[in-house]
Amino acid sequence: MLDILNWTDASPEARTRALTRPASSSSAGPAARDIVDAIRDQGDEAVRAYAKRLDGYAPGDFRVPEGVLKAARAALDPRDAEAIKAAADAVRRFHVQQGYRGYSVETWPGVTASRRATPVDTAALYVPAGSAPLVSSLIMLAIPAQLAGVPRIVVVAPPAGDGGVNPALLAAADLLGLDEVYAIGGAQAIAALSFGAAGLPRADKIFGPGNAYVAAAKAYVSSLPGGPAVDLPAGPSEVMVIADETADPDLVASDLLSQAEHDPSAQVMLVCFDAATADRVTASVAKLLEDLPRAAIAREALAASAILVCDSVDDAIDIANIYAPEHLILQAESAERLLAGVRHAGSIFVGAWTPEAAGDYAAGPNHTLPTAGAARAHGGVSVESFQKTTTILRASEAGAVALAPTVERLAALEQLDAHGLAMRLRRERANTGDVAPDAGPRAGTKRRKTKETDVTVTVNLDRDGPIRIATGIGYFDHMLDQVARHGGFALDVAVEGDLEIDGHHTIEDVCLTFGEALRAALGDKRGLGRFGFELPMDESRAAAWIDLSGRPFAKFEGEIPGEFVGEFPVEMTAHAFRSIAESLGAAIHLKVEGENAHHMVEGCFKAFGRALRQALRVEGDALPSTKGMLA
Amino acid sequence: MLDILNWTDASPEARTRALTRPASSSSAGPAARDIVDAIRDQGDEAVRAYAKRLDGYAPGDFRVPEGVLKAARAALDPRDAEAIKAAADAVRRFHVQQGYRGYSVETWPGVTASRRATPVDTAALYVPAGSAPLVSSLIMLAIPAQLAGVPRIVVVAPPAGDGGVNPALLAAADLLGLDEVYAIGGAQAIAALSFGAAGLPRADKIFGPGNAYVAAAKAYVSSLPGGPAVDLPAGPSEVMVIADETADPDLVASDLLSQAEHDPSAQVMLVCFDAATADRVTASVAKLLEDLPRAAIAREALAASAILVCDSVDDAIDIANIYAPEHLILQAESAERLLAGVRHAGSIFVGAWTPEAAGDYAAGPNHTLPTAGAARAHGGVSVESFQKTTTILRASEAGAVALAPTVERLAALEQLDAHGLAMRLRRERANTGDVAPDAGPRAGTKRRKTKETDVTVTVNLDRDGPIRIATGIGYFDHMLDQVARHGGFALDVAVEGDLEIDGHHTIEDVCLTFGEALRAALGDKRGLGRFGFELPMDESRAAAWIDLSGRPFAKFEGEIPGEFVGEFPVEMTAHAFRSIAESLGAAIHLKVEGENAHHMVEGCFKAFGRALRQALRVEGDALPSTKGMLA
């Protein structure tokens, strides 16, 4: 059933053939293009006509009413709801670490170059939901979209049964906080999202798997001028397992079958080091197939797949790098060497205890991955997939003068005289006072000297370093470092304190001075709005919301156990934020739950730093997660 | 010459029309596809035939000999060489901050999910070089490719004059350390790179601007199964300037002309708030055009462009967000409000002193940017563009048991029984001893107790936190924090030291213990190779190279001024690394230059941490920059 190729003895042609994906013979491409063109030219009516013809479902409004979503959730088996929530939590824990980094650097004296990340405005998530509801696909797309802060997330799914969308999928959407779902599938759904037709919004980027028509339509619309972006080039799903003679044949076989049951065109490859392993796995596949409901599909996929028997770990690494598999499973004693050597793969599963199924559903990493060798140049869907970056340049008068000779020289070399002129005009106007000076950096320094302490705090909101903190209280230093690092600004705190008594005055006075310095740095740019951030930290969870309103208000919810973290008195946590709120003139709400005081205090400061970063910079790489919550 | 539209009074249709890019009427698409198909089917001969016909140049070998590169560099005006180096340095300073972040998180008890970034194997940089050599395009593509660590970077450029490539471009390639240049342009170059023909390698991703044929060929090859990836959808270059009545009309005009001179199809838009500003700018454009060599091109571009007069900053923000310009220049008192409101733009230039020309050549940010509204979903070229991510999952026996109920439940919901089976088989085998246990985390704890100090150090190489350091020497804590943070591992350092005398023993003993703990954590996985990292830090530059060979060796080059940084004795820097090398059993080479002791010491520890990260994890997100250097 699975062809066996001896890699070592095989000719170069046989090797190439074994690692070449079968060409698609589908006629989906031209058909999908016809549908897209018709909908572009004829609009709503064409959407309805294709939906009627292909899905058998063309209601007045494709949108699923909110009541139907709520009813589906109410009807969902609570154990399914629990599984969906648990999977979403793990996916969120993994993806919250992602996102393009925003930063600023001074590239020339007087020239500040920055990068910021922002979400796409409208993301469309296509979720196949014909016979079975692919709730895992919805989780894998919705969580990174929410973490990126996408303002409008729309879900499209083919109608199931006699109209409407599969109830389990609707329930999952509701659990994930998604309320905009359309019951339409196929190339007509992709086209409607590309042009904004039949009540569907125009999407800036379309995500998700689908059949050959959906894949072809995505590729086509993304090639049109002004067309939406798409997540990944599409192809049938695939797995490569590298197993040695120590591998359990049943575990290898069950992993191969997990892939094979997806689709008759799914790709399954086993790489091993001896014929006996190949035989054992083949026997186990045959045995396990007997009880498999989707055995017919799996058999078809296996018929087009292969076992490669090679001589060495280096050969196996070469095979994986040539093939660049979507999924790579390592069940071999040399797993670490294989892992280090493989450069091209969508997702790698290390060791016997890590089936691909774990990653498909609930382990954390995304399951929307590059197929058909696209792993040579693409990764899977991530928070970055829902963002884009903008670079920002600010030159001062002095900066323009510093840059000018280099720019003018290169413009002359490239014979682009207007470019040279634009720079020369600045150089000539410099130091004449004819052009208004630019605003300075948003920086502030404050000193607070009492009988008890002498505190100096400097912040620069337009730089993300250096961070220098020395309060004499190690854990408090660590906390302020968290705020600046996660807030993305430079911070210098110097203290002469009365630590011989206790940390109270130092912490309070540092916080008051910090708030004052921040306020000074913000200048008249307050009122930037309300920003929130929530983060998990081991067993703890902390959330912070800030409104730089000018009006001080502080609210702290949570019970932190114990008295001290290092030399830091736990009871000072709430007090620290009250002090900052007072001197900064801001509303600060903090909420923390957990068991470990260290995590809980650190979570508060980190979440505060993250919320501050958004409030100060409006950077999209800071992840607003009030949306990213399961209800 | 520039049409003026009053935005406030305009109909919705007129507004849409004003912000719609003109449709391309080019026949380049079908022609480019024919060329690509012919080269796919007929190979080398077809490449040569098209090169002969279209470029008039089809040598036996398209590669430019190294001697020709060296000669071009020798012949380059030293002032041009200096300008190229200065621009490359600034671009490197900006881009070194980029790159996908690698990380590990424990998503379930016993389940570790990681992400690593790796470069593409072969990147091709297409540089237009017909009449003028676009050395700036080469800089903008080569620097991020080098920072990403791309092993093979190839440059293709159309032949200029009577064969070979423009000498200034060749000189720039040599200055940038690029030695693989091919003299071939157009769709035939893109096709040759896509299939690996006529002596050109098969590229995994193709970057760079080009004419309509090149753009069409890139779009087509990226849509082929197994075809290369490409950087960005292509369109004519464009700028939007938002100017108020305080703007200097000559500066605005020179920025508009910088765009208009590129190409007859370049897009130029001015948004202002009153008719008088529009008139002043128009007059200045007419005046400056008189002396411009490329005036004919600029006039053609301006004829298709427009001035929009609107009423408010909010209107201007709306216009920018609808248009999503490649370049956006803000010359208005409300620049900060505009900056905060604009969500979609490739690059933004803030204030009168920041011409687009600065960013085109030498300011630091990339000039390869999204056109035609693609900024709604795409950023410009970055280090990330040359990388891709791979996720890695490791479950322990306990982890598999923890995951199983959720995975099995969801597999049942989706009716994918083999998925459930793969998880169930693990659950059933757990705790039976039938499957070999996975290796534990790479962690180690060491304690070193002498009469002078009592040091305990714990490291966990498979987690990237927490980091807890308390040596009693604030700056040294900061340094160790840098090492762990940049090294990407968990570190706990606890010390009872004889600080009342001086910091010497503490620093030495902590370093010795740290090395021992690292060595223990590495287990038998030493000999991972030689890794280096170099980083700029303000005026300083520090480089570190590590070989985890088992043999201790330390070399320190550099003169750090002064005696102390905080309480940290500067002379202990070299000693600290010698201590680590000794107990870790590693060769450590450090080199630092600069003026500021704080930066220099910190640079050493940071560079060491970064080099260590690579040595420990083989993560591609750490940027090898020995390649990224100008000779």
Contact residues, chain A, for B194 at CB < 8 Å? none
Strands A454-460 and A443-449: antiparallel
Confidence of residue A127 (pLDDT cuts 50, 70, 90): very high
Choosing from A327, A367, A589, A598, the catalytic residue is A327
- Contact assessment for residue B75 and residue B170, using Cβ atoms and an 8 Å cutoff: no
Are B70 and B219 members of one domain? yes
Contact residues, chain B, for A466 at CB < 8 Å? 598, 602
Q: Is B599 annotated as a binding residue?
A: no
Closest partner CB to B395 (pick from A235, A354, A528): A354
Nearest CA of chain B to the CA of A377: how many Å? 6
pLDDT of the residue at A530: 46
Nearest CA of chain B to the CA of A471: how many Å? 9
Mean pLDDT for the stretch of residues A247-272: 94
Choosing from B327, B367, B486, B598, the catalytic residue is B327
Beta-bridged to residue A48, according to DSSP, are none
Closest partner CB to A336 (pick from B100, B219, B525): B525
Query: Which residue of chain A comes nearest to B202, CA vs CA?
Result: A376
Confidence of residue B164 (pLDDT cuts 50, 70, 90): confident
What sections of A149-202 are H helices per DSSP? Answer: 167-175, 186-195
Contact residues, chain B, for A376 at CB < 8 Å? 120-121, 204, 229, 388
Q: In the listed set B230, B262, B290, which residue is the last one of a domain according to the structure?
A: B230
The yes-or-no verdict on residue A25 having pLDDT over 70 is no
Query: Which residue of chain B comes nearest to A129, CA vs CA?
Result: B414
Are B142 and B190 members of one domain? yes
| CA atoms of A243 and A248, how far apart (whole Å) | 9
- Looking at the 3D structure of chain A, how many domains does it have? 4
Are A149 and A53 members of one domain? yes
Task: Please indicate whether, in this complex, the C-beta atoms of A406 and B83 are within 8 angstroms of each other.
Answer: yes
Closest partner CB to B355 (pick from A121, A423, A618): A423
DSSP code of B64? P
Closest partner CB to A377 (pick from B90, B363, B388): B388
Q: In the listed set A213, A230, A247, which residue is the last one of a domain according to the structure?
A: A230
Q: Is B126 annotated as a binding residue?
A: yes
Confidence of residue A567 (pLDDT cuts 50, 70, 90): confident
Q: Determine, yes or no, domain membership for A387.
A: no
Contact residues, chain A, for B393 at CB < 8 Å? 347-350, 354, 358-359, 363-365
Q: B6 phi and psi, to 5 degrees?
A: -85, 105
- For chain B, what is the mean pLDDT? 86
Nearest CA of chain B to the CA of A429: how many Å? 9
| CA atoms of B266 and B372, how far apart (whole Å) | 11
Mean pLDDT for the stretch of residues B33-53: 96
Q: What is the CATH number of the domain that holds B247?
A: 3.40.50.1980
Q: In the listed set B230, B251, B272, which residue is the last one of a domain according to the structure?
A: B230
DSSP code of A265? T
Task: Please indicate whether, in this complex, the C-beta atoms of B258 and A362 are within 8 angstroms of each other.
Answer: no
| CA atoms of A554 and B147, how far apart (whole Å) | 45
Type of residue found at A80: D
Task: Please indicate whether, in this complex, the C-beta atoms of A419 and B261 are within 8 angstroms of each other.
Answer: yes
Task: Please indicate whether, in this complex, the C-beta atoms of B353 and A395 are within 8 angstroms of each other.
Answer: yes
Q: Determine, yes or no, domain membership for B392.
A: no
- In A273-372, where do the E strands start and end? 306-309, 327-331, 347-350
Contacts of B457 (CB under 8 A, 6+ apart): B445, B446, B447, B491, B492, B493, B494, B510, B513, B514, B516, B517
Task: Please indicate whether, in this complex, the C-beta atoms of B365 and A409 are within 8 angstroms of each other.
Answer: no
Exposed, middle or buried, B234 (CB in 10 Å: 0-12/13-18/19+)? buried
Are B240 and B170 members of one domain? no
Q: Determine, yes or no, domain membership for A359.
A: yes
Are A452 and A601 members of one domain? yes
Contact residues, chain B, for A103 at CB < 8 Å? 97
Q: Is A188 annotated as a binding residue?
A: yes
Task: Please indicate whether, in this complex, the C-beta atoms of B411 and A131 are within 8 angstroms of each other.
Answer: no
| CA atoms of B140 and B145, how far apart (whole Å) | 9
Task: Please indicate whether, in this complex, the C-beta atoms of A418 and B120 are within 8 angstroms of each other.
Answer: no
Nearest CA of chain B to the CA of A438: how many Å? 7
Are A456 and A580 members of one domain? yes
pLDDT of the residue at A163: 65
Task: Please indicate whether, in this complex, the C-beta atoms of A353 and B205 are within 8 angstroms of each other.
Answer: no
- Contact assessment for residue A609 and residue A487, using Cβ atoms and an 8 Å cutoff: yes
Q: pLDDT (tens digit, 9 = 90+) per residue, A275-325? A: 999 999 999 999 999 999 999 999 999 998 899 999 999 999 999 999 999
Contact residues, chain B, for A229 at CB < 8 Å? 374, 376-378
| CA atoms of A111 and B87, how far apart (whole Å) | 13
Contact residues, chain A, for B203 at CB < 8 Å? none
- Contact assessment for residue B200 and residue B191, using Cβ atoms and an 8 Å cutoff: no
pLDDT of the residue at A475: 76
Task: Please indicate whether, in this complex, the C-beta atoms of B415 and A379 are within 8 angstroms of each other.
Answer: no
Q: Is A126 annotated as a binding residue?
A: yes
- Residue of A34, A264, A69, A221 whose CA lies nearest to A157: A69
Are A212 and A334 members of one domain? no
Contact residues, chain B, for A358 at CB < 8 Å? 111, 393, 395, 400, 403, 407, 423
pLDDT of the residue at B21: 87
Are A364 and A495 members of one domain? no
Are B225 and B324 members of one domain? no
Are B152 and B285 members of one domain? no
Nearest CA of chain B to the CA of A392: how many Å? 5
Query: Residues for chain B: how many in total?
Result: 631
- Return the residue matching tokens 């080479």: B589
The yes-or-no verdict on residue A469 having pLDDT over 90 is no
Nearest CA of chain B to the CA of A555: how many Å? 28
Helix (H) or strand (E) holding B163, with range, is: none
B326 catalytic residue (yes or no): yes
Strands B205-207 and B122-126: parallel
Task: Please indicate whether, in this complex, the C-beta atoms of B377 and A420 are within 8 angstroms of each other.
Answer: no
Task: Please indicate whether, in this complex, the C-beta atoms of A416 and B294 are within 8 angstroms of each other.
Answer: yes
Q: Is A419 annotated as a binding residue?
A: yes
Q: How far is CA A27 from the centre of its chain?
A: 34
Type of residue found at B287: K
Q: Is A360 annotated as a binding residue?
A: yes
Confidence of residue B499 (pLDDT cuts 50, 70, 90): low
Q: Determine, yes or no, domain membership for B383.
A: no
| CA atoms of A164 and A148, how far apart (whole Å) | 29
User: Interior CA angle at B424 toward B418 and B426, to 5°?
Assistant: 115
Exposed, middle or buried, B40 (CB in 10 Å: 0-12/13-18/19+)? middle
Are B171 and B187 members of one domain? yes
The yes-or-no verdict on residue A255 having pLDDT over 80 is yes
Closest partner CB to B97 (pick from A105, A223, A409): A105
pLDDT of the residue at B529: 44
B344 catalytic residue (yes or no): no
Q: Determine, yes or no, domain membership for A623.
A: no
Choosing from B180, B238, B326, B602, the catalytic residue is B326
Q: Determine, yes or no, domain membership for B374.
A: no
- For chain A, what is the mean pLDDT? 86
Give the tokens for residue A258.
């997990």
Nearest CA of chain A to the CA of B470: how many Å? 7
Q: pLDDT (tens digit, 9 = 90+) per residue, B263-281? A: 888 899 999 999 999 999 9
- Contact assessment for residue A338 and residue A329, using Cβ atoms and an 8 Å cutoff: no
Tell me the residue range of the domain where B477 lies: 443-617
Task: Please indicate whether, in this complex, the C-beta atoms of B416 and A373 are within 8 angstroms of each other.
Answer: no
Task: Please indicate whether, in this complex, the C-beta atoms of A395 and B358 are within 8 angstroms of each other.
Answer: yes
Contact residues, chain A, for B204 at CB < 8 Å? 376-377
Exposed, middle or buried, A367 (CB in 10 Å: 0-12/13-18/19+)? buried
Contact residues, chain B, for A391 at CB < 8 Å? 94, 346-348, 359, 365-366, 379-380
pLDDT of the residue at A414: 92
CB pairs under 8 A between A and B: 462
Are A32 and A133 members of one domain? yes
B165-183: burial string, b at 16+ Cβ within 10 Å, e else: bbbbbbbbbbbbebebbbb
Nearest CA of chain B to the CA of A415: how many Å? 6
| Residue with the larger pLDDT of the pair A614 and B359 | B359
End-to-end CA distance of chain A: 48
Task: Please indicate whether, in this complex, the C-beta atoms of A257 and B421 are within 8 angstroms of each other.
Answer: yes
B465: number of Cβ within 10 Å: 18
Task: Please indicate whether, in this complex, the C-beta atoms of B111 and A388 are within 8 angstroms of each other.
Answer: no
Closest partner CB to B403 (pick from A292, A343, A363): A363
Q: Determine, yes or no, domain membership for B194.
A: yes
Q: Is A103 annotated as a binding residue?
A: no
Q: Determine, yes or no, domain membership for A611.
A: yes
Q: Is A211 annotated as a binding residue?
A: yes
The yes-or-no verdict on residue B120 having pLDDT over 80 is yes
The yes-or-no verdict on residue A529 having pLDDT over 70 is no
- Return the residue matching tokens 């080569």: B142
pLDDT of the residue at A161: 67
Confidence of residue A258 (pLDDT cuts 50, 70, 90): very high
**Number of Cα atoms under 13 Å in the Cβ half of residue B226:** 12
pLDDT of the residue at B623: 30
Task: Sheet containing A229-230: give its strands across.
Answer: A181-183, A152-157, A122-126, A205-207, A229-230
pLDDT of the residue at B325: 97
pLDDT of the residue at B446: 75
